Amino acid sequence: MAKIYKVGILGSTGYTGATLTGLLAKHPNIEIVFLASQQYAGQKFSTIYSEYRGLVDIECSNIDDEAILNLNKDEIDLVFFATPNGIAHKHVPGLIAKSIHCIDLSADYRFKDLDLYTKWYGFKRQDQATNAQAIYGLVEYNREAIKKAAKSQTMIIGNPGCYTTSSILALAPILEAMADSIDTKSIIVDGKSAISGAGRKAATNLLFSEINESCSPYKLANQHRHGPELETFFSEISGKEIQLSFSPHLVPMSVGLLTTCYIQFTKETTEADLRKLYETRYAAEQFIKLLEPELYPQTKWAVGTNQAFIQINYDPRLKRATITCAIDNLMKGAAGQALQNMNLVFGLKENIGLN
Amino acid sequence: MAKIYKVGILGSTGYTGATLTGLLAKHPNIEIVFLASQQYAGQKFSTIYSEYRGLVDIECSNIDDEAILNLNKDEIDLVFFATPNGIAHKHVPGLIAKSIHCIDLSADYRFKDLDLYTKWYGFKRQDQATNAQAIYGLVEYNREAIKKAAKSQTMIIGNPGCYTTSSILALAPILEAMADSIDTKSIIVDGKSAISGAGRKAATNLLFSEINESCSPYKLANQHRHGPELETFFSEISGKEIQLSFSPHLVPMSVGLLTTCYIQFTKETTEADLRKLYETRYAAEQFIKLLEPELYPQTKWAVGTNQAFIQINYDPRLKRATITCAIDNLMKGAAGQALQNMNLVFGLKENIGLN
Amino acid sequence: MAKIYKVGILGSTGYTGATLTGLLAKHPNIEIVFLASQQYAGQKFSTIYSEYRGLVDIECSNIDDEAILNLNKDEIDLVFFATPNGIAHKHVPGLIAKSIHCIDLSADYRFKDLDLYTKWYGFKRQDQATNAQAIYGLVEYNREAIKKAAKSQTMIIGNPGCYTTSSILALAPILEAMADSIDTKSIIVDGKSAISGAGRKAATNLLFSEINESCSPYKLANQHRHGPELETFFSEISGKEIQLSFSPHLVPMSVGLLTTCYIQFTKETTEADLRKLYETRYAAEQFIKLLEPELYPQTKWAVGTNQAFIQINYDPRLKRATITCAIDNLMKGAAGQALQNMNLVFGLKENIGLN
Amino acid sequence: MAKIYKVGILGSTGYTGATLTGLLAKHPNIEIVFLASQQYAGQKFSTIYSEYRGLVDIECSNIDDEAILNLNKDEIDLVFFATPNGIAHKHVPGLIAKSIHCIDLSADYRFKDLDLYTKWYGFKRQDQATNAQAIYGLVEYNREAIKKAAKSQTMIIGNPGCYTTSSILALAPILEAMADSIDTKSIIVDGKSAISGAGRKAATNLLFSEINESCSPYKLANQHRHGPELETFFSEISGKEIQLSFSPHLVPMSVGLLTTCYIQFTKETTEADLRKLYETRYAAEQFIKLLEPELYPQTKWAVGTNQAFIQINYDPRLKRATITCAIDNLMKGAAGQALQNMNLVFGLKENIGLN
């Protein structure tokens, strides 16, 4: 009989939390112990998301419920934070102290440099020790670190942002292997995201009539928080100081995310060589699909899955590569990747509950 | 009493042609002499576009109708080509010879270099002399040339492409005034277009169920025809050889186009200085709206208008500017600009029929 | 020189108010004296609706501003209420007393029977006398009453609801002329509305991600306020007590409204006869387009116009007619019709500013 | 170890066929023997539907391939027809003769009365005997008949249409139990369908730019083929001659279907009584979700599932019930229901592969 792990979700009724809840409810090794929701405490999850009637009828509890924070290791194995930024860091140290694993889908545990975190997110932090032991949960790049750590310690995983995930999957093979051949200040990530990425909050600018039939950039030129998250990761993986431009855009669709990533080479290369690099790097990765020449990624292919679709283009005139990557922002960009991380933490097969 | 000019449209039932027809029907100085449509010849225009019932009930004639090609100067003043590429160049020389003005919304008269045209569009050309006298109809940059020529000669205007228009409005002030301060190979134009830009043809990949809820790039890395059109214009205006990356994307909306344009400076500048440059350059331009800081262009603002909305961002860390521009791809990106050109050709006020 | 009338709008920044503002700004006989907005007082109209930059840069004033309520006849000719229900009835009597015309786009002046109004809208009323003199502004049916009254009195017009307008245009010819041939309890109006009909309020259920890719009914079986508005009008025009079913639905689009109206005949008729009836009734109506057989109304044809597109179908097996009508919910369904009413009040040509 | 059944699909690359292929590929008891596609023969299924890369890489074969038609019982257990109307009836008799089960998702086996079929679909039929043994695959109403027959004979199942499925689930409980209390000519089904229901064919009227931001009826007043399909079923189940109005509409979304069904009672009833009737009738049905009062079905809840969401409203003034039902047109309305039927045919649990 399958071993069952007990998990809870804080922030279960946002779009990310709800996607995660849906995945966990179908996962053969998981029992959901609680679903917390500040806004909908006291209501059944399936009242807010009627598509889950008969599937997830658990009543949402209050995020500040003492009962949750007082849970012990034998009652719960892992807590997911699908909460707004600035909340996880208050609760994670206490849970870790009780040997309860944590996976944080917010930004709280994505930065080793807490000053950088505070600069971009505003919150002051008291949990230096906990933060130091957090692992950045981009599985395709940190799988071994996660697996190794999971054998000996209680885990805190900082689940990457959606734009970041797509950009890393698109560019990291080059940064990892060819850092000496690129202009370290040349990277431009032009992101196109569905509206669900903005969350489920009642705001005029997210109304259907405002978003529909329009496309728009926002926070251009080093004003969006995913920029420093990307620079941190790319600098680490390349061993160089990477500085880049990140340009997010809103596209009128519910789910899906595309990044168009530009990188300038300083030495000659070819599209064929780059393609070979990616094929090798991702040969064993079941959630990465490299596309043959002239087939471009469509976000809808990724929707509802944990897949990333990647295309590689290179213009020899300009020595510039254009790498495009499409994912589901709520899946590989958030909840799907969190589940992938959870599977690793529990020593399960990485794709359980993700096919 | 208003002077009336007589015009005809070839290709009147595509999206661009229909938008142009609608504008012309409401223009106080225009009489439509014919609407030609290969596909719908013999049907009323308002049968195909029912929104025009009672407004444009003209019967569409056949594009190859002798009657059209035999029209004389006293029967018609100007012919618009809203036809696929490769058609206008066969008919324009004959019309010009009869002193009938031509405005071509296809690509046929956008290139001084006919070899470049043939390389990208495939068609061989016999009309070198006519082509040599064509003017590129980006009004904000060629207004004086058009006005001057219109006084003394029969005009052939090559109306710019939609992506090109948006990109030129976004970047030309820098290329015009600061060509010595930029990296001539650094420009990247990341375009996001509505589906109407692909035209009104029965193709599986343009079906609602294929396009809806998806975003996708196409023809990346120097494979799209608007790349060389842009390079030609930018090289001319800057006096340098400009080579750039152009990356078009499809966004699930009917109308609207956004370009996100990146340019690398080699000398220090500031956002304030760039803003001043644009304010000066576009001070007298009624169809250009510069946005105050932190307000980003939304394509829906431009829909149904001839306006371009432009925002300027600059990252001093990287000496890189990000200029964004939103237009209606069928208006300022095609039919609206064609009308603007027509007004110039006839010596009318530039905004008649465009407000 | 054109005579200029001075108008003001309360509630100018909702979708209906903004559409009306746009129409008035382009109307050759209108000067906008004030735009009031509770939410955006102190901001320029064009800051909230950037598409109007350079066109409507008036600063919004506060709806409770004494200055507005103290305006005199020589400063203002007419006030539009594009406010939520329950507000107009407080201000209209005072304005009428100062001989300032009022057009109310809310429900306050749509009911002769104030008990019925209070039952459905909740607000108690003190303005019986003013209400008694209000005219229901469905122009195609009350034109003569409006024109006649406008010659001798200060006007208060109750502008019809969007669903109601579409349903009346679809069914009234039958109710007017064939009331003896129908089952008075058989009418069913199945309405499909764009989301802008729900207004511009920050509510979770109106978010893009909630509305997109979904269709849903609401307030079925005599629970929606447009039901009694319809019953009142149809009973009056037919001289019979009409009771009907009204079923509104939300459709994922920004603008447009379709009503599918069913009516049971008790005597034999034919589609041809019905068609003739409509052709006669609407022969002189420039904003009504009857469609030839087998062409069905598409809401997009009406978008941005004051037109209504109507199709007539009849099933002789069941003696049941199905009449469909498409309008722009913000135009003929609200602001366009309000302008049509204003033109009548001022004795202007009915279509000025509407083409 | 799970018993494996071998199946093939004709018409695998239409929207219905592709949805079915996806379901079958994940079904633990199924091996796909062939995927046939007239249009894409010779290409991998995952080339046409890239979301299935690595999941369904089978090469599509030609529908007329002798190899398929010559398959024997030991090579294949069941063939699905996801073909256009008029194709299945040519192949099914031969397959049945070889003891190969058939499930037809087209209309060919939905009518006992072949004259009625020919009247509406045009095709002449030679397979009276085979047709006589076909069972209409609306599982919730014909489950026992299917299970019983499956024990003793080779099965041909006529899978119901999408509109029909939704309408039957909405109305059949009343027709089954209260046929004496209703007006047999009063039923009106007002259907709202996503565009995928129109299939994957390159047609101008299905282009994104034509469909987006518009809503439209079609084939009103007894002109749509699902009308007689409904009348046949309802007449059978009620024992009365039912004649009804069916009004289909296109809604701008990719997937989902809503029917708003009206029925006139001749005797008094109450909403509570109707609710009780439905609760009892559907108590054991895992794919039917009855909604509590004031919660209305949203098509998006059903998308990607085999669920039907039903709400019951009753207006005692008019003795009229309004029953609404939302399904996924490609799932419960086509492929999902076909899989449900297949599970029954093979004696598997009904929900395998459907959760």
Q: Please answer whether residues D179 and D261 qualify as being in contact, where contact means their C-beta atoms are separated by less than 8 angstroms.
A: no
B188–chain D nearest CA distance, Å:
28
Closest C-alpha among D228, D223, D251, D253 to residue D241: D228
Comparing CB atoms, the residue among C213, C295, C305 nearest residue B51 is: C305
Rounded to an integer, what distance in angstroms lies between the CA atom of residue C304 and that of residue C256?
9
Residue A240: pLDDT over 80: yes
Chain D residues within an 8 Å CB radius of C260: 190, 217, 220, 247, 249
Give the mean model confidence (pLDDT) for residues B316-339.
Answer: 98
Express as a percent the part of chain D with pLDDT over 70. Answer: 99
Rounded to an integer, what distance in angstroms lies between the CA atom of residue C32 and that of residue C87?
21
Give the mean model confidence (pLDDT) for residues A133-140.
Answer: 97
Comparing CB atoms, the residue among B185, B192, B216 nearest residue A215 is: B192
For C162-328, which CATH superfamily applies? Dihydrodipicolinate Reductase; domain 2 (3.30.360.10)
What's residue A1's pLDDT?
62
Q: B208, D200: Cβ pair inside 8 Å? A: no
Give the mean model confidence (pLDDT) for residues A253-268.
Answer: 98
- Catalytic site residue from B60, B162, B261, B325: B162
Residue B269: pLDDT over 70: yes
DSSP-derived pairing of the beta strands B308-315 and B320-327: antiparallel
For D181, the token pair is: 């209390």
Half-sphere exposure of C244 (CA within 13 A, CB side): 34
Q: What is the pLDDT of residues C57-92, one digit of tens each?
A: 999 998 776 677 788 999 999 999 999 999 999 999
Q: Please answer whether residues A277 and A177 qualify as being in contact, where contact means their C-beta atoms are separated by less than 8 angstroms.
A: yes
DSSP-derived pairing of the beta strands B245-250 and B216-217: antiparallel
Packing angle, helices A226-238 and A114-121, rounded to 10: 160
Q: A320, B221: Cβ pair inside 8 Å? A: yes
Split at pLDDT 50, 70, 90, the class of B3 is very high
Question: What is the separation, in whole angstroms, between the first and last Cα of chain A?
Answer: 21
Packing angle, helices C162-177 and C139-152, rounded to 10: 100
* D48-76 core/surface letters (b: 16 or more CB in 10 A; e: else): bbbbbbebbebebbebeeeebeebeeeeb
Residue segments in chain C with a per-residue pLDDT below the cut of 70: 1, 65-66
Chain B residues within an 8 Å CB radius of A249: 192, 258, 260
Distance (Å) of CA B319 to CA B269, B274, C28 = 7, 12, 49
Q: Which residues have a Cβ under 8 Å from the Cβ of B321 and sit 6 or more positions away?
A: A221, B174, B262, B263, B265, B269, B271, B274, B312, B313, B314, B315
Packing angle, helices D139-152 and D162-177, rounded to 10: 100
Q: Please answer whether residues B191 and D198 qualify as being in contact, where contact means their C-beta atoms are separated by less than 8 angstroms.
A: no
Placement of tokens 């809208």 in the chain: C121
What's residue D62's pLDDT?
87
Give the best residue of C206, C251, C328, C329 to mutate against chain D (max D CB count within 10 A): C251
Comparing CB atoms, the residue among D190, D213, D317 nearest residue C300 is: D213
Residue D283: phi, psi to the nearest 5? -55, -40
Residue B168: pLDDT over 90: yes
Give the best residue of A211, A214, A242, A317 to mutate against chain B (max B CB count within 10 A): A214
For A166, the token pair is: 């797509």
Placement of tokens 């239409």 in the chain: D14
Q: A53, D289: Cβ pair inside 8 Å? A: yes
Give the best residue of A163, A188, A218 to mutate against chain B (max B CB count within 10 A): A188
Fold (topology level) of C5-133? Rossmann fold (3.40.50)
- For residue D197, give the DSSP letter: G
Q: D221, C320: Cβ pair inside 8 Å? A: yes
For D191, the token pair is: 């259907």
C202–chain A nearest CA distance, Å:
5
CATH code given to domain D162-329? 3.30.360.10
Q: D190, C260: Cβ pair inside 8 Å? A: yes
Q: B207, D210: Cβ pair inside 8 Å? A: no
Distance (Å) of CA D91 to CA C11, D57, D63, D125, D158 = 65, 26, 11, 12, 14
Q: Please answer whether residues B50 and C295 qualify as being in contact, where contact means their C-beta atoms are separated by less than 8 angstroms.
A: yes
What's residue D65's pLDDT?
65
Give the mean model confidence (pLDDT) for residues A154-181.
Answer: 97
Q: Which residues pair with B101 in a beta bridge?
A: B78
With CA atoms as reference, the chain D residue closest to B252 would be D208
With CA atoms as reference, the chain A residue closest to D297 would be A50
Q: Please answer whether residues C163 and C189 qualify as being in contact, where contact means their C-beta atoms are separated by less than 8 angstroms.
A: yes
CB pairs under 8 A between A and B: 147
Helix (H) or strand (E) holding C82: none
Instruction: Tell me which chains share at least 3 CB pairs under 8 Å with chain B.
Output: A, C, D
Give the mean model confidence (pLDDT) for residues A73-77.
Answer: 94
What's residue D52's pLDDT?
94
Rounded to an integer, what distance in angstroms lies between the CA atom of residue A250 and that of residue C174?
48
Strands of D245-250's sheet in order across: D216-217, D245-250, D188-193, D257-264, D320-327, D308-315, D288-290
Q: Where are the alpha helices (DSSP H) in B178-240?
A: 208-211, 226-238
Strands of D156-158's sheet in order across: D30-36, D5-10, D78-81, D101-104, D156-158, D135-136
Rounded to an integer, what distance in angstroms lies between the CA atom of residue A309 and that of residue A325?
5
What's residue B314's pLDDT?
97
Q: Which residues have a Cβ under 8 Å from the Cβ of C60 and sit 6 or more positions away?
A: C12, C13, C35, C36, C37, C40, C41, C42, C43, C44, C45, C48
Q: Please answer whether residues C174 and C277 qualify as being in contact, where contact means their C-beta atoms are separated by less than 8 angstroms.
A: yes
Closest C-alpha among B30, B53, B40, B50 to residue B10: B40
Residue C250: phi, psi to the nearest 5? -95, 130
What does the mean pLDDT of chain C come to?
Answer: 95
Rounded to an integer, what distance in angstroms lies between the CA atom of residue B308 and that of residue B286?
10
What's residue D109's pLDDT?
97
Matching CATH topology for D5-133 and D162-329? no
Chain C residues within an 8 Å CB radius of B211: none
Q: A309, D355: Cβ pair inside 8 Å? A: no
Placement of tokens 């019809």 in the chain: C160
What's residue B66's pLDDT?
67
Q: Tell me the one-letter amino acid at D239.
A: G
Q: B258, A251: Cβ pair inside 8 Å? A: no
CB pairs under 8 A between C and D: 147
| Complex ipTM value | 0.96
B15–chain D nearest CA distance, Å:
9
What's residue D7's pLDDT?
97
CA quadruple A261, A266, A270, A276: dihedral positive or negative?
A: negative
Q: Catalytic annotation on B60?
A: no
Domain ranges of chain D: 5-133, 162-329
Rounded to an integer, what distance in angstroms lies between the CA atom of residue B345 and that of residue B157?
9
Rounded to an integer, what distance in angstroms lies between the CA atom of residue B174 and that of residue B181?
9
Placement of tokens 């079904």 in the chain: D27
Chain D residues within an 8 Å CB radius of C244: 318
Q: A206, C207: Cβ pair inside 8 Å? A: yes
Placement of tokens 């909740």 in the chain: C122
Q: C300, B213: Cβ pair inside 8 Å? A: no
What's residue D99's pLDDT?
96
Q: A289, D26: Cβ pair inside 8 Å? A: no
Rounded to an integer, what distance in angstroms lies between the CA atom of residue D333 and that of residue D139?
12
Give the SS3 label for residue D61: strand
- Catalytic site residue from A60, A162, A261, A325: A162
D63–chain B nearest CA distance, Å:
20
Q: D192, C192: Cβ pair inside 8 Å? A: yes
Q: B305, C51: Cβ pair inside 8 Å? A: yes
What's residue A222's pLDDT?
85
Residue A248: pLDDT over 70: yes
Q: B50, C295: Cβ pair inside 8 Å? A: yes
Which positions in chain B have a beta carbon within 8 angstroms of at least one beta carbon in chain A?
185, 188, 190, 192, 212-218, 220-222, 243-245, 247, 249, 251-256, 258, 260, 262, 296-300, 303, 311, 313-315, 317-318, 320-322, 324, 326
CA quadruple B87, B90, B91, B95: dihedral positive or negative?
A: positive
Instruction: Tell me which chains share at least 3 CB pairs under 8 Å with chain D.
Output: A, B, C
Closest C-alpha among D317, D254, D102 to residue B252: D254
Comparing CB atoms, the residue among C196, C200, C213 nearest residue A254 is: C213
Split at pLDDT 50, 70, 90, the class of A66 is low
Rounded to an integer, what distance in angstroms lies between the CA atom of residue B292 and that of residue B306?
20
Residue A204: pLDDT over 80: yes
Rounded to an integer, what distance in angstroms lies between the CA atom of residue D345 and that of residue D102?
10
Q: Please answer whether residues D265 and D319 qualify as being in contact, where contact means their C-beta atoms are separated by less than 8 angstroms.
A: yes
What does the mean pLDDT of chain B come to?
Answer: 95
Which positions in chain D have a beta carbon within 8 angstroms of at least one beta carbon in chain A?
26, 50-51, 53-54, 212-213, 286, 289, 291, 295, 298, 300-305, 307, 309, 355
Comparing CB atoms, the residue among D15, D204, D208 nearest residue B212 is: D208
Instruction: Tell me which chains share at least 3 CB pairs under 8 Å with chain A.
Output: B, C, D
Rounded to an integer, what distance in angstroms lies between the CA atom of residue B32 and that of residue A333?
53
Residue segments in chain D with a per-residue pLDDT below the cut of 50: none
Closest C-alpha among B30, B27, B29 to residue B8: B30
- For residue C331, give the DSSP letter: I
Q: Please answer whether residues C195 and C249 qualify as being in contact, where contact means their C-beta atoms are separated by less than 8 angstroms.
A: no
Q: What is the pLDDT of residues B203-262, one digit of tens each?
A: 999 999 999 999 999 999 888 888 999 999 999 999 999 999 999 999 999 999 999 999
Distance (Å) of CA B181 to CA A234, A272, B242, C49 = 29, 34, 13, 36
Give the mean model confidence (pLDDT) for residues A171-197.
Answer: 97
